[in-house]
């Protein structure tokens, strides 16, 4: 597995403004820049943006809902793509913009600092996984979060993140390294709790490599037919310990007390810890027939009505949002599996498939193309 630094990151961007001034510049908007924080409107929709980190010009995509006025503080969700992907493809896969449009929050999809094994795609320089060559993606994420807070009218208590595959590995280690900007985080086929270390013949998370600053709520999704990041453990050198081990380790890190709640079903099962420090919760879903795909349009979570949540069918991103905002972790209710796979747009010049799809592939093994084989 080898990823290289993205060519052209050092090219000057004519419209780039200093990050310290808290300004983003949206491409395709005639050079219009908006001042920091609340009080300034932003054109709704999806825009390219530039951020400076470590002396490099970095790229992300931001989605602004139609309801955004610039005067009322709104939540913020970061959406981290997997290996051999890119921000726009991740937004299409996760469907976070659709949830943001409905609920009125901003989505930022940053771009990993390494180039992927598929032309036009990218990957994350994950501490403890990659060789360390290339941009510092931990510093980039921290700078991007700060810039988003400075630039948009953001509710600092409602800043969240989700990561798919390699993006989840990046997000896991970001939290492990003591970065505390996100009050809750979601993971699809990707939750880790530190570097894998073998002790007495058993793989476990290395405690020294995961020291979060504060308790953080965690929601994770797994496919039991995932051959890329196997829920049972094993796989690549960066993986090894199981998803359940990672989940229980986060429960320890969050200071959760009491027994784990669990429910089992033919299609989906869940595990949860509720009584954690700082109001944190830990929740995990395992989907029997899901592979390494993002469980979106084909796996719907039917939420039971209660005093905190509105009942109805939601997909993975909407389920994450419900978890982020609800204040309580809720186990599954009824689950429906339906819908066809959604094709993800390929970047220009790409001839190979990207990592994963936006669906549950019934009983189908993962692709052995570069998107699956070389996922972080």
Task: Report the residue count for the chain.
Answer: 376
Arithmetic mean of pLDDT, 156-178:
97
Alpha carbon 12 to its chain's center = 29
CA distances from 245 to 49, 203, 204, 231, 310 (A): 38, 9, 7, 9, 31
pLDDT tens for 289-337 read 899 999 866 676 666 554 444 445 568 999 999 899 986 434 433 333 3
Task: For residues 236 and 328, give the distance between their C-alpha atoms in angstroms, rounded to a whole number.
Answer: 34
**CB under 8 Å, gap of 24 or more: what pairs does 255-262 form?**
255/215, 255/280, 256/280, 256/282, 261/331
DSSP state of 85: B
Arithmetic mean of pLDDT, 333-356:
38
Helix extents (H) in 207-366? 243-253, 316-326
**Placement of tokens 């940053």 in the chain:** 110
106-110, 128-132, 200-204, 260-264: segment of lowest average pLDDT: 128-132
Predicted local confidence at residue 303, as pLDDT: 60
User: Above 50 in pLDDT, residue 10?
Assistant: no
Sorted by where each begins, the domain ranges of the chain are: 4-373
| In contact, 88 and 67? CB cutoff 8 Å | no
Predicted local confidence at residue 340, as pLDDT: 31
pLDDT tens for 235-258 read 999 999 999 999 999 999 999 999
| In contact, 215 and 277? CB cutoff 8 Å | yes
Share of residues in the chain with pLDDT > 90 (%)? 57
Predicted local confidence at residue 265, as pLDDT: 84
Predicted local confidence at residue 312, as pLDDT: 54
**Helices and strands (H and E) in the chain: how many:** 7, 18
Predicted local confidence at residue 351, as pLDDT: 37
User: Above 50 in pLDDT, residue 59?
Assistant: yes
| In contact, 48 and 27? CB cutoff 8 Å | yes
Query: In a 3-state reduction of DSSP, which class is residue 75?
Result: strand
Arithmetic mean of pLDDT, 135-140:
95
CATH level 2 (architecture), domain 4-373: 3-Layer(aba) Sandwich (3.40)
pLDDT tens for 25-44 read 444 333 334 445 898 888 99
DSSP labels, 240-251: BS-HHHHHHHHH
Instruction: Tell how strand 114-115 and strand 122-123 pair up.
Output: antiparallel
Arithmetic mean of pLDDT, 198-209:
95
Give the residue, 170 or 267, on which the prediction is more confident.
170
| In contact, 146 and 124? CB cutoff 8 Å | no
CA distances from 268 to 95, 297, 300, 334 (A): 21, 15, 11, 9
Arithmetic mean of pLDDT, 123-138:
88
Q: Which residues of 365-374 are buried (b: 16+ CB within 10 A; e: fewer)?
A: ebbeebbbbb
Which tokens sit at 370? 């570069």
User: Above 70 in pLDDT, residue 50?
Assistant: yes
User: Above 90 in pLDDT, residue 338?
Assistant: no
Helix extents (H) in 280-361? 316-326
Predicted local confidence at residue 7, as pLDDT: 37
């Amino acid at each position: 597995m080898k990823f290289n630094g993205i060519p052209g990151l050092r090219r000057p961007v004519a419209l780039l403004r200093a990050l310290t001034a808290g300004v983003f510049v949206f491409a395709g908007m005639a050079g219009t820049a908006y001042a920091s924080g609340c009080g300034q409107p932003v054109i709704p929709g999806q825009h390219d943006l530039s951020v400076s980190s470590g002396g490099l010009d970095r790229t992300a995509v931001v989605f602004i809902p139609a309801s955004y006025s610039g005067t009322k503080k709104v939540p913020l969700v970061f959406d981290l793509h997997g290996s051999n992907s890119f921000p726009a493809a991740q937004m299409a896969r996760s469907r976070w913009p659709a949830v943001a449009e409905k609920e009125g929050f901003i989505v930022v999809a940053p771009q990993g600092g390494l180039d992927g094994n598929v032309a036009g795609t990218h990957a994350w320089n994950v501490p403890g996984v990659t060789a360390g060559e290339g941009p510092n993606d931990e510093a980039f994420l921290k700078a991007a979060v700060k810039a988003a807070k400075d630039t948009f009218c953001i509710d600092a208590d409602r800043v969240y993140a989700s990561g798919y595959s390699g993006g989840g590995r990046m997000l896991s280690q970001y939290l492990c390294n003591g970065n505390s900007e996100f009050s809750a985080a979601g993971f699809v086929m990707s939750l880790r709790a530190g570097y894998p270390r073998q002790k007495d013949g058993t793989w476990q998370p290395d405690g020294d490599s995961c020291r979060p600053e504060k308790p953080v709520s965690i929601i994770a999704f797994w496919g039991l037919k995932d051959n890329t990041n196997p829920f049972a453990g094993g796989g690549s050198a960066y993986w090894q310990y199981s998803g359940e081990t990672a989940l229980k380790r986060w429960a320890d890190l969050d200071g959760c007390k009491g027994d784990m709640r669990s429910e089992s079903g033919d299609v989906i099962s869940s595990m949860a810890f509720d009584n954690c420090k700082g109001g944190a919760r830990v929740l995990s879903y395992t989907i029997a027939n899901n592979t390494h795909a993002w469980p979106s349009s084909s796996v719907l979570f039917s939420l039971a009505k209660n005093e905190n949540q509105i009942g109805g069918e939601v997909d993975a991103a909407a389920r994450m949002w419900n978890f982020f905002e609800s204040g309580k972790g809720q186990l599954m209710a009824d689950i429906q599996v339906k819908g066809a796979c959604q094709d993800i747009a390929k970047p220009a010049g790409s001839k190979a498939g990207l990592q994963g799809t936006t669906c549950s592939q019934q009983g189908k093994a993962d692709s052995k193309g570069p998107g699956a084989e070389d996922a972080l």
